[in-house]
Amino acid sequence: MRIMCDQNQGGWLAGRVVVALAVLGACVAMVLFSVRTHTAEDLGYHLAYGEQFWDEGRLVEHSEFIYTLPPLNTPPDQRPEPGPACWYDAQGRYCFPNANWLTQVILAGVYRLAGVAGLSVLLAGLAALLSVLLAVFMRRMNLPWLGVAVGVLLVTLVVYPRLQLRPELLGYVVLVAQACCLGRAMRYPRKPESLRWRVIILLIFLQWLLVNLHSYFLLGLAISVAVLAEYALRWLVSWRSASADSDERAVLAGGCKKLAVLLAGQVAVCFANPWTWRLAVLPVQTLAYIRTHKINAGPGAHPWSLLGEFQKTTFLFRNWTNDITNIAFAAMLVCVAAALLAAVLRRRWSWLLVLVGMTMVAMSMQRNIHVAAMLLIPVSLAAIWQGVAGFAARYGGKVRQAGRLIIAVGILVGCVCVSALVVTNRLYDGEGWLVRFGTGYSRVHMPVGPARWLNEHNPKGRLWCCSTATSNLHFFTRPHREMPMITNTWSLPPATLQMVFDVNRANDRVDFPQLGRRYDISVVVTGPGKFFGQLRQDRRWALVFLEGQFAIFMRLDGPDGKLARQTALHPTKVDPAKLAARTRQLDPKPVHVLGQLGEMLLQLRWPEHAVAVSQATVDAREDAIAWNRLGLALYLRGMMKKASKQRGAVEDFRQAERAFARSMELGNTHPNITKNLQAARQQISHTE
């Protein structure tokens, strides 16, 4: 008998250890997702804004380095219409309430103290804190530790694309901290210790933090409203119930008073910011603006509609099961559906309100999925557990213990597998993300190379830049250069933003040569595309820099004409093999960056370089697009050999034919692939 007890105790202990390891594994997985190279397109302007505070002691509400903003002396009736919550001040400057000012001060302060390494440590620390807060929240919702492990891992898989050093990450941390403070009140509304005055004061302070860190602060109010609604409803029901206990009624009445004070305090601190009412109404005005202009209905006339994060949420698209985030999102929605039923059956009205409200938030636009998941997943799992706990209790202790152990082992194995995929970059590469496991800046996505070249050569003229690189290029250049825009959507009027988008997409609505003369543009940083092709064909522009997915052109007849002629690149001066080798060193998974460079080399009509880089792309990973690009490069080289009557044209056409055929074998069904194959075969027959 004693031996059996010892065996049971040993099994119980083993189960506890495995469950603890599963929780730890889920938290570690979230942290590992945050140990990544910095790729955030907004990081540069946040650091620049924060830098201005530390240098000059003032907060930014006007981006004075954007040279496309309307001149100060523009008549009021000729100024472009401002965006939501924005305005022109008495001097004619375009202003906006800077909803992220406190985040920017924090980021710039860390950068001053510890550089980019400090930013990497901060990112990992915020992810670790977020995972701990999520665990605490779920425990306060009476979820067992096994459920906590499931919840943290599921949240991680849904939100990992946004685990970047952006203001919303700090917003996630504060929002989940608010949920932790209200967790017991949501779970035990009848207990007086669920709401204490010190908790109310802490919640008001957290709301003030959220208001000044990021514009998601309305969600903090929403949680308080949901809990207040449950307390008020239960209090009203208690008056109509003859069996209601007077002590319980008093607890509910006291809770209503405390929550009313909390809500009033939270609303009041929404105005405790440098822009008072302007920032307080920013989220409401933005939502109304998006709805009025149908911005989230898909790409349209308004420039904001071209920004993917404003689009309506959908995951049921072609091959959606190939994306782990979409699979996790689908799992979250299944949990929400089950939790809604459980919440109704158990009469958990605050849970029901949170589930309905946050589901609407998640489905409203893509950028809101991640913040909604912070609340939806914990509350869903808590509601489901409350519904099935009684059913699980029907089974004997050994059955429950075995089941718990099996599930915990499964979660632990899943955490280990996900962590391994992250550390080896296989997950990022497989899903097309440019982030990589590690620290520092991404040399592929961030314009580190162009900034280094500009700092070294210091051209005098103004700079034009592709839209996604503007903020980081502004911060990386010394001194900070003027920009046509930055990725802060509120920093310039929508009409000006549309003009910049039109130029970078080579839209015929904007005459870039005329625009260049108007703003005295001498330098252009861009990537592959129609605009790149226009500059290549224009003899007034010379290519002076080419690295990864970035190129720099300089105007030969501008203020930097002499520098442009001295630094101009020519295919005879660039070794194809060395170019391919240098590009591979930019990224441990170089398929994307090699492909981007290959596209630019094709546009430049540098056949030897295009073949070398395209071959390196195929060697890195064999896929249909890479083989098609290699075929185009070989075809181009063959045509140029044929035109100059050099030997080897037929062999190039034959290799191009094999490349196009291989692309079709790998699933390329684009109509152009058939045309490419036919063209190669025609050249073979004509040349032979």
DSSP notation for 579-621? HHHHHHTT-SSTHHHHHHHHHHHHHHT-HHHHHHHHHHHHHH-
Distance CA 685, CA 460 (A): 53
**Residue range 308-367, pLDDT digits in tens:** 888 888 755 545 556 888 899 999 999 999 999 999 998 899 999 999 999 999 998 888
Distance CA 336, CA 146 (A): 18
**Residue 187 binned pLDDT confidence (cut-offs 50, 70, 90):** confident
66 bridge partner residues: 483
Distance CA 340, CA 344 (A): 6
Distance CA 170, CA 72 (A): 35
Q: Whole-number mean pLDDT of the chain?
A: 91
- Residue 150 pLDDT: 96
For residue 174, what are its two tokens? 């504060």
* Residue 459 neighbours by CB under 8 Å, 6+ apart: 522, 523, 554, 559, 560, 563
Residue 3 identity: I
Among all chains, which residue has been given the structure tokens 């898909």? 298
Q: What percent of the chain has pLDDT over 90?
A: 76
Distance CA 619, CA 639 (A): 24
Q: Is the pLDDT of residue 400 over 50?
A: yes
Candidate from 326-330, 470-474, 651-655 with smallest mean pLDDT: 326-330
Nearest Cα residue to 656 out of 646, 647, 664:
664
**Residue range 424-449, pLDDT digits in tens:** 999 999 888 889 999 999 999 999 99
Candidate from 164-178, 394-408, 519-533 with smallest mean pLDDT: 394-408
Q: With a threshold of 0.85, does the pTM exceed it? A: yes
CB atoms within 10 A of CB 235: 20
Please say whether the beta carbons of 156 and 192 come within 8 A: no
**Residue range 474-505, pLDDT digits in tens:** 999 999 999 999 999 999 999 999 999 999 88
Average pLDDT over every residue of 11-34: 89
**Residue range 98-128, pLDDT digits in tens:** 999 999 999 999 999 999 999 999 999 999 9
* Residue 553 neighbours by CB under 8 Å, 6+ apart: 523, 524, 526, 535, 541, 542, 543, 544
* Residue 338 neighbours by CB under 8 Å, 6+ apart: 380, 383, 384, 387
CB atoms within 10 A of CB 108: 21
Please say whether the beta carbons of 40 and 98 come within 8 A: no
Task: Locate the DSSP E strands across 462-556.
Answer: 462-465, 521-526, 541-547, 550-555
Candidate from 317-326, 447-456, 563-572, 595-604 with smallest mean pLDDT: 317-326
Q: Is 378 helix (H, G, I), strand (E, B) or coil?
A: helix
